Every structure is written in structure tokens, then in C-alpha cells.
Amino acid sequence: MPQLAGQVVIVTGASSGIGEATARRLARGGARVVVSARRPDRLDALARELDPAGANILAVAGDITDDADRRRLAEATLAKFGRIDGLVNNAGYGTRGPVETTPVDAIRRNFETNVFSLVALTQLVLPTMRAQRSGTIVNIGSVAGRIARPLSSIYDSTKHALEALTDGLRGELKPFGVRVTLIRPGYIVTEFVQAADAASERHLENAGPYQPFMTGFRLGYQKLRRVAGAPDDIAVLVEHALVSNDPAPRYAAPFHAKAFLFLKWVLPARLLAHLTRLRT
């Protein structure tokens, strides 16, 4: 069983929410953690808190959608620690709104962050992992990668794409000793909803006839808060995947996530469509 202590793990999107909780958990377990996101102040504060001497933590601020920033992240990790044992592809955000009125640029941006940049960073760490003949890629997907909802179909389709990518990559990397897994969080209380609001604010003003349904969409999120999980519910699964000899292809948490995935599996598509229909 691989030990967590000493593993060098890159965590993207570590300035808040699931990524931050993951960095904390891994650092406390003795991993050497490289944290990345756009907000340097948050990253530096986290790094100072977790390891004031800075021997076992490295903060590399950058935008995951920027090629030079991604290269800097991979290179700085190798320069400081000399190896890469884990990559937690967590940075991401949601675009919400109707397909009809969401500008294609906004759709591209969401795919750029959640899918293309994730692939590009993965490409940068794979030569190292293959040479080591070991490593673990942990992709943070979503229940939305299995169940698409009206007014969320852009974000949900980025997470659907991640499902296919993860499954294909798992088979490609198995001969090289690199493990690949996907975690499907349900609703976790983080800054995700605020970030989605900020990313969608402008084009939601033009949602026209769909506008009344947006209120129902927001109410849906508020209702889910009662069963929402905490970021550490996901961090625990990341840790589990990193120390497992043979990680499961997919994990889900908290309980409501597993329940929704079960319903997706057993319910006829027509009934699921009825349950997720637009409401005002």
C-alpha cells in the first residue's frame, strides 16, 4: 500500500473549498503538497499555516488556463521535490443559464478551465509519472457528470466530458503503473455557488423568457443545503485514492450523491427528466 507520507502531490484549485481541504488533509498526513490557484494571497496563507518552514509545501500561483502558468507549476514542482506522485485535478467552476442565451465564449471558457486545461496539465505530469512507473491522477468530477440538469447543461457537460476522459485515460496509463480515478461530489458547501454566480451574472441578465425559472433553480440549491457535505468529505476520498494499491474507478460523497447516482442508474430516463424539470 503506498504511504501518503513523502508523496509529492499537486492540488489545483487549492485556494478554497475542496482543493483547500484536500491540501490540508494531505499535508497533515505527511505529503509534500504543491498548491495552485489564481489567488496568491490565499495560497501563501495556506502554505504558511501548513508548513511555516516551507520544506514540504510549495505555493505556485497561476491560472490553469494559461499554458505558461501550467508549465511553471509542473517545473517548479520538479525543481523543488524532484518527482510527482499525485495530481489532483480540482480547479473548476460552473456556468449556469439556458443554452439558448449563454454566449458561446462563456461556454468555451468553462470547457477551457474544466476540461482542456485539466488535460494539458495532465499531459505535463505524465512523462514524469511514466518514468517513475507510478503516480495517481485524481480528477474531481461531479454527480453532474452523470445527471445533467436544465439551466446547468454547460457545466454539466464539462463534467460529463471528464467522465469519458477519466475512463479512457485509466486504461491508457495502466500499463505504465499510473492510476486514474474520478471523484463525484454531490453538493458541497464551498465558494462554488458564488463563483458560478459571478461567472454567469452578465449573461443571466439576458436570460429573457428563462428568467423566471432561474429562481426555481436557485431554490433547488438552497433545498440541497440541508443535505450538503463538507469539503473534507471529498478530501478523505482523495487521500484514500492516493494510498490505495488499486483505487476504485470512481468515488462519490456525501450520501445524497450516492443516492442520486443510484437513481440515475435505476430510473427510466423519462422519469428522471420529469424529476429534474424546470420549475418556477
Ligand X SMILES: NC(=O)c1ccc[n+]([C@@H]2O[C@H](COP(=O)([O-])OP(=O)(O)OC[C@H]3O[C@@H](n4cnc5c(N)ncnc54)[C@H](OP(=O)(O)O)[C@@H]3O)[C@@H](O)[C@H]2O)c1
Among 8, 11, 23, 37, binds ligand X (CB under 6 A): 37
- Near ligand X in 160-199, by CB under 6 A: 185, 187-188, 190-192, 195
Among 7, 22, 56, 90, binds ligand X (CB under 6 A): 90
Handedness of CA 150, 204, 19, 168 (dihedral sign): positive
Among 26, 47, 88, 92, binds ligand X (CB under 6 A): 92
Q: Which range, of 15-23, 126-134, 206-214, 244-252, touches ligand X by CB under 6 A?
A: 15-23
Identify whether the C-beta of residue 142 lies closer than 8 Å to the C-beta of residue 185: yes
Size of the site for ligand X (CB under 6 A): 27
Our finding on whether 113 is near ligand X (CB under 6 A) is yes
Residue placing its CB nearer to ligand X in the complex, 63 or 130: 63
Q: 102 to each of 95, 98, 116, 153, 155, how far by Cα in Å?
A: 9, 6, 19, 11, 12
| DSSP one-letter code for 107 | H
Among 4, 9, 10, 19, binds ligand X (CB under 6 A): 19
Cell, residue 215 = 429562481
Q: One of 93, 155, 210, 251 is an active-site residue; which one?
A: 155
Q: Which range, of 59-67, 130-138, 165-173, 271-279, touches ligand X by CB under 6 A?
A: 59-67
Our finding on whether 149 is near ligand X (CB under 6 A) is no
Is residue 155 part of the annotated active site? The answer reads: yes
Identify whether the C-beta of residue 252 lies closer than 8 Å to the C-beta of residue 184: yes
The beta-strand segments (E) located in 215-275 are 250-253
Q: 181 to each of 86, 138, 165, 230, 251, how far by Cα in Å?
A: 11, 5, 10, 20, 8
**DSSP string for residues in 149-173:** -TT-HHHHHHHHHHHHHHHHHHHHH
3-state secondary structure at position 121? helix
Our finding on whether 38 is near ligand X (CB under 6 A) is yes
Our finding on whether 71 is near ligand X (CB under 6 A) is no
Minimum distance, C-beta of residue 175 to ligand X, in the bound complex (Å): 28
Among 91, 124, 207, 214, binds ligand X (CB under 6 A): 91
Active site residues: 155
